[in-house]
Amino acid sequence: MRRGPRAPRILALVGAVLAVAWVAVLARPHLEGWRGPLDWPEAMLTDLRLLVAGPKPPPQDVVIVAIDDATLAGDGGTYPLPRARLSEIVNRIAEEGARALAVDVLLVEPTYPATDAVLAEALGRVPTVLAAAGRFRPEAAGPDGLPVIEEALRPLPRFGAVAASGLVNIVTDASGTPRHVPLLYRGPAGIEASFVLQAAALWSGAPAEIGTGEIGLGGSRRAVDLGYHLALRAPGPAGTIRTVSARHLLETPPGRARLAGRLVVVGYTATAVGDRFSTPFDPVTPGVEVLAAGMATLLSGEGMVRSAAIRRADVAIAAVLALGGVVTVALLPLVYGLPLVAGALALWLGAVTLAYAQGQWFSAALPAAACLPPVLLVAAARHLMERRAARASGRAARALSQFQPPLLAARIAADPGFLTEPLAITASVLFVDLSGFTRMSELMGPEVTREFLKSFHGCISGVVDRRQGLVLSYMGDGAMAVFGLPEPGPDDAANALAAAFALVPAVRKLSLPGLPGVALDLRVGVHRGPVVVSRLGHETHQHVTVTGDSVNLASRLMEVAKAEGAAIAVSADLVSGAGPQALSGLPVPDTRRVVAIRGRMAEVAVSLWRCPRGAEPALDAAPSAAGRG
């Protein structure tokens, strides 16, 4: 078995090494959750997938009681809301039978002792978690990946005595969209649960169970991301989670607020008050709704899952796409390799979009970033290789065309297997020979004869080529041309007949060097019939030719022309194949007769033209309109 070129295999090996190194560079930040240059494209692609997936149905167990513009207006527009009014809201929530309460309001400054005592009493009526705010740096994370609290604002001890507290910090991506809620922190006293996790645990009635890469809550377990971060998915635009105005709540008759058994989240949504986050659904989503979405995700078990296992799968897919991509473009022509790589990337992007809609958050940016640079680098190298090979092939084709007719050389260059098996076709064969050239070459000498024959052969080639024929061989002062290669056509016979009549004046115009006054003349024989096209010779040195009785007959027709004193002898088979239209512009044959052919038993009907000098027909030099595909 012949071995293929080594260059593509070497390129594939080098590209694979580069791809592995590049994937390793990108993989570490992704596996360890560092911020990096892929955050922005990943954020854009995640937003796009979120929009494709569309909003989710609102959760049934979580309700927001909003301190909105109407609520603040009822207290004279005072901010923050007076604690006496907050006490009324908490009492009403307790009366409505809420199962748990999460207050996203920082109660860190003391007010009137009596007012604070009333609020503390209200908070003690329902299992409650209060908001705390912390300051921490991701790079300060401990060995378990948990954020380390450097400083925190916590509720007053009076409130802390009757309610739990947890940090309300949210992690946003490069675009400012909230993507994660940290569920655990490492503080001075050890591991602390966040505001979201505390609220969900209060509603479930059991403490959270911390496992390796997962959180257990109420008998169900949920995979979490690095550092026990919960992946967030905005359920929809602001207001998707059922929201009740605090003022409306206070004005609603008892028992009609539909808060019984719910986890109620109290927070600010008033204009220019409280946190605002941008999501693909709404550029001004209140922070309390983002926190409520995290709680709903924990309670329902539905939402986004992004875990260490998914991150490892991201890296594995990135490695497969990068390695497969560089090997594909290195070993296949670019016209096939690049579309295959692009198709694989498109399929993966489609798959991660569908997975996102089902709650599985795979990276879209990492595989693309891992695949494209090494693939494009290898593709550029492959392009240079293909250009170099094309130039070499072009040089080979040009060199081959010096030994084979251009049309045949182009066909062999494009299809090296052409004519490895003989091909039987019907073709028109033309032979041309100079009259009395043996004596003239003796008078001119070998050097002058060689130069003259070059011009004579060039004349024949020009006439035949313009009529879609191929000169297959030159035989000293003669030549053989075939019309019907590399593919037969309907006008082959007409083209051969036109070439015969064009050769007569073209050759007669040639001058014989050193023999002024000596006129050239020629004989042309043309026949149409079955031939066998094949390669002759040893496999290391071959030439294309046609064989068969039709070839012999076309050659013998030159003898007929010589015996009859004619310039052109054409068989009746060729005249019939050319058709009446081809004959319409030609002179009437000087003779039509049936003649005996040397070496053949059957006689042949021929048409003969003497073509006197000065009376040759004027023929258009353009090829037949049909041409050759």
pLDDT tens by residue, 401-445: 555 566 676 666 677 777 778 889 999 999 999 988 878 887 888
* pTM for this entry: 0.65
Distances (CA, A) of 87 to 109, 120, 178, 251: 16, 8, 30, 15
Nearest to 503 by CA among 452, 530, 529, 469: 469
Least confident of 70-79, 117-126, 291-300, 332-341: 70-79
Total number of residues shown for the chain: 629
- Which pLDDT band holds residue 114 (cuts at 50, 70, 90)? very high
Least confident of 68-77, 81-90, 289-298, 615-624: 615-624
Which pLDDT belongs to residue 138?
56
- The average confidence (pLDDT) of the chain is 88
Which pLDDT belongs to residue 48?
93
b (16+ CB within 10 A) / e for 565-598 = ebbbbbbebbbebbeeebeeebeebbeeeebebe
CA distance 363 to 352: 7
Which pLDDT belongs to residue 626?
39
Which pLDDT belongs to residue 388?
80
Enter the tokens of residue 346.
């498109």
**Where exactly are the structural domains of the chain?**
6-47+308-389, 66-239+267-300, 406-609
CA distance 565 to 555: 16
Is residue 143 over pLDDT 70?
no
pLDDT tens by residue, 296-328: 999 987 778 899 999 999 999 999 999 999 999
- Which pLDDT band holds residue 590 (cuts at 50, 70, 90)? very high
Which pLDDT belongs to residue 137?
63
- How many CA atoms within 13 Å lie on the side-chain side of 90? 29
Which pLDDT belongs to residue 491?
93
Which pLDDT belongs to residue 523?
95
Residue that the structure tokens 């007719």 belong to: 405
pLDDT tens by residue, 524-535: 999 999 999 988
Which pLDDT belongs to residue 445?
83
- Report the CATH fold assignment for 406-609: Alpha-Beta Plaits (3.30.70)
pLDDT tens by residue, 226-283: 889 999 988 999 999 999 999 999 999 988 889 999 999 999 999 888 788 999 999 9
Element (H, E) at 457: helix 446-466
pLDDT, average across residues 62-83:
90
360 secondary structure, DSSP code: B
DSSP 229-278: EEE----SSTT-S-EEEHHHHHHSPTT-S--TT-EEEEEE-STTSS-EE-
